[in-house]
């Protein structure tokens, strides 16, 4: 079987159970781990079966508490594929939710504004800061980074940890009192304050639910996700079509030769690819 | 006169010179500061006159050295308008170039991956790091942040400056030798090493030109800008159309009620707004 996306050949594994879509749906619904693992693989590989699976299970989602964890900076093979990654993450979260998981953690891949796409899937956002990572504190201060629900300053034995705690507390104190995040020192390695962190996440969620804010946030998040995935697909379509279509390639070449300005080129490309009329384009 | 975008009324200023488009084009071309200032205002306000201006002047651009400066973290009113900001920045740079400026500096608004759009306008990228801003160093290390052409570690008298210099040098030493950025300590306030920094920027540009890499980079940058602006416009169009069209609003509402899954909604919206057929959608 050829994996469409990666272009490599995957040998049929005779030891692996062959699932029909209906069996997979029933398996995920019943919390079967193998079914769930297979379903998530389909999502990760952008298999054509992923969509009908998620479509069928979607009405049963919305029960899990989805917690987004951000600012860890990780080296990922995801550069340039953020759209696709966000899409697969959303589907995987929905599958875990449909499988009856109580809590789903979503970790973001990088620091800064691009997190929005992934944390948009989460009900609650936990920001983990490392002492010495000054940019995050600056980004919070400047309002570039979304204020999360709970902030953990990890590595509590680091010499700069207490200073950072104070600094972050003074920044969040400037925000509205009703949604002011709790900030605490933790040490993940020694497990220090981790139960307290969990307690804060639970309390925060309970207060969101009580005030009706959880439903509101989920509605906003879902709309934002739909826009994010749609824009990302629109962009892929643009790139594919410009690569394939000699007329569009020549538009781009004229820009590169400084004969046609970039914004007129944008108009021509949008008209050709999406049939957008330039008169009502902006 | 009504400013279309901001919805506020701007009173005609009798003391200000009234320019025709042709006068403005001639003014910018001749390096007239008032003409340039007016042209940039049109670009900033997304005035309908901005496009014909840039279109006419574009063939004369490409002479200025455009230097992008990144990581300063600033509080900006630009959140959620990155696309529009990138578009206006691109046009403003082209106008400054057409007006005969030798060097144009472009400063980015934030840290991290979203810089790409703005630094894509630049020929050369200068990264300014502050001692203590650990995230940037981590982002460089993890390959999340694009390796710039020149790196300045500013505030050379900061206790952590030398350590940061060594750390950054060891990170860039892992990259290809032919495009390894020079790293130096500067102090902007005292002007320390600023001439040396300028020298590095000039040397870097000369070597890019000599190796034919400048042309190549500009071609790539222009293509990337066209895609970025086109995607951003496609996204605005999506948002506007979903806001205006009751049928699309009901698709979104069905997602929010968990009746229709997000990815099926994406297909339906793309089909309706951009006439994208779902069968060849991905």
What tens digit of pLDDT does each residue of A20-40 get? 999 999 999 999 999 999 999
Please, which pLDDT band fits residue B75 given cuts at 50, 70 and 90? Answer: very low
- The percent of residues above 70 in pLDDT, for chain A, comes to 81
φ, ψ of residue A108 to 5 degrees: the values are: -85, 160
**pLDDT value of residue A16:** 65
Binary contact (A262, B90; C-beta < 8 A) = yes
Q: Smallest Cβ distance to A258: which of B61, B91, B231?
A: B61
**pLDDT value of residue B198:** 95
**pLDDT value of residue B140:** 77
Binary contact (A75, B144; C-beta < 8 A) = yes
Interface probe with B: pick from A50, A224, A274, A280, most Cβ of B within 10 Å: A274
Nearest-by-CA chain A residue for B112: A112
For A144-158, A216-230, B216-230, which range has the lowest pLDDT when averaged over its residues? A144-158
**Predicted confidence (pLDDT) at residue B100 exceeds the cutoff of 80:** yes
**Predicted confidence (pLDDT) at residue B14 exceeds the cutoff of 70:** no
- A-B interface: how many C-beta pairs under 8 angstroms? 224
Nearest-by-CA chain A residue for B237: A281
Q: How far apart are CA B113 and CA A74, in angstroms?
A: 13
Residues of B in contact with A75 (CB under 8 A): 141-144
**pLDDT value of residue B18:** 83
For A22-31, A38-47, B10-19, which range has the lowest pLDDT when averaged over its residues? B10-19
Please, which pLDDT band fits residue B278 given cuts at 50, 70 and 90? Answer: low
Residues of B in contact with A266 (CB under 8 A): 226, 229-230, 233
**Predicted confidence (pLDDT) at residue B252 exceeds the cutoff of 80:** yes
Residues A71, B144 contacting (CB under 8 angstroms): no
Q: Smallest Cβ distance to A265: which of B226, B252, B265?
A: B226
Interface probe with A: pick from B76, B118, B135, most Cβ of A within 10 Å: B135
**pLDDT value of residue A89:** 85
Binary contact (A79, B112; C-beta < 8 A) = no
Binary contact (A58, B219; C-beta < 8 A) = no
Average pLDDT, integer, range B87-105: 91
Average pLDDT, integer, range A147-173: 89
Nearest-by-CA chain B residue for A228: B235
Average pLDDT, integer, range A197-222: 92
B61-211 in CATH: which number?
3.40.50.300
**Predicted confidence (pLDDT) at residue B259 exceeds the cutoff of 90:** yes
**Complex prediction ipTM:** 0.82
- DSSP H helices, chain A, are 21-29, 33-44, 50-57, 82-98, 115-119, 134-141, 161-172, 194-210, 213-244, 246-256, 262-274
Q: Smallest Cβ distance to A235: which of B91, B231, B262?
A: B231
Count CB-CB contacts under 10 A for residue A44: 16
**Residues β-bridged to residue A68:** A106, A125
Average pLDDT, integer, range A253-262: 94
Binary contact (A142, B73; C-beta < 8 A) = yes
A258 vs B275, which has greater pLDDT?
A258
Please, which pLDDT band fits residue A84 given cuts at 50, 70 and 90? Answer: low
**pLDDT value of residue B137:** 79
Give how far A235 is from chain B: nearest CA, Å. 5
Give how far A111 is from chain B: nearest CA, Å. 7
Q: Smallest Cβ distance to A134: which of B134, B255, B276?
A: B134
**Predicted confidence (pLDDT) at residue B51 exceeds the cutoff of 70:** yes
Long-range (24+ apart) CB contacts under 8 A made by B231-234 are B231/A231, B231/A234, B231/A235, B231/A238, B231/B83, B232/B82, B232/B83, B232/B84, B232/B86, B232/B87, B233/A266, B233/A270, B233/A276, B233/A281, B233/A282, B233/B83, B234/A231, B234/A234, B234/A235, B234/A238, B234/A270, B234/A274, B234/A276, B234/B274
Placement of tokens 């800008």 in the chain: B225
B112 vs A28, which has greater pLDDT?
A28
Answering whether pTM is above 0.80, one says no
- List, in order, residues 6 or more apart from A211 with CB less than 8 Å away: none
- The percent of residues above 90 in pLDDT, for chain A, comes to 45
End-to-end CA distance of chain B: 45
Nearest-by-CA chain B residue for A82: B113
Residues of A in contact with B112 (CB under 8 A): 110-114
Residues of A in contact with B4 (CB under 8 A): none
- List, in order, residues 6 or more apart from A212 with CB less than 8 Å away: none
Average pLDDT, integer, range B67-73: 74
Binary contact (B255, A282; C-beta < 8 A) = no
Please, which pLDDT band fits residue B80 given cuts at 50, 70 and 90? Answer: very low
**Predicted confidence (pLDDT) at residue B127 exceeds the cutoff of 70:** yes
**pLDDT value of residue B77:** 37
């Amino acid at each position: 079987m050829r994996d469409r996306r990666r272009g490599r050949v995957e040998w049929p594994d005779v030891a692996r159970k062959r699932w029909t879509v209906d069996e997979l749906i029933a398996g995920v619904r019943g919390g079967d781990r193998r079914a769930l693992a297979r379903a998530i693989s389909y999502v990760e590989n952008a298999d054509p079966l992923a969509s009908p699976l998620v479509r069928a299970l979607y009405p049963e989602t919305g029960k899990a508490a989805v917690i987004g964890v951000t600012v860890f900076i990780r080296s990922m093979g995801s550069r340039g594929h953020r759209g696709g990654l966000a899409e697969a993450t959303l589907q995987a979260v929905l599958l875990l939710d449909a499988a009856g998981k109580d809590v789903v953690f979503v970790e973001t891949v990088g620091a800064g504004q691009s997190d929005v796409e992934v944390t948009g899937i989460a009900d609650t956002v936990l920001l983990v800061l490392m002492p010495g990572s000054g940019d995050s504190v600056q980004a919070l201060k400047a309002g570039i980074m979304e204020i999360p629900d709970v902030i953990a300053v990890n590595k509590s034995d680091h010499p700069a940890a207490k200073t950072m705690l104070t600094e972050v507390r003074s920044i969040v104190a400037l925000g509205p009192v009703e949604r002011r995040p709790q900030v605490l020192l933790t040490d993940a390695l020694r497990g220090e304050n981790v139960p307290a962190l969990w307690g804060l996440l639970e309390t925060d969620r309970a207060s969101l639910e009580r005030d009706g804010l959880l439903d509101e946030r989920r509605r906003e998040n879902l709309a934002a996700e739909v826009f994010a995935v749609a824009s990302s697909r629109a962009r892929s379509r643009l790139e594919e079509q410009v690569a394939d279509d000699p007329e569009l390639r020549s538009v781009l070449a004229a820009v590169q030769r400084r004969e046609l300005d970039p914004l007129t080129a944008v108009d021509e490309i949008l008209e050709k690819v999406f049939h957008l009329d330039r008169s009502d384009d902006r």
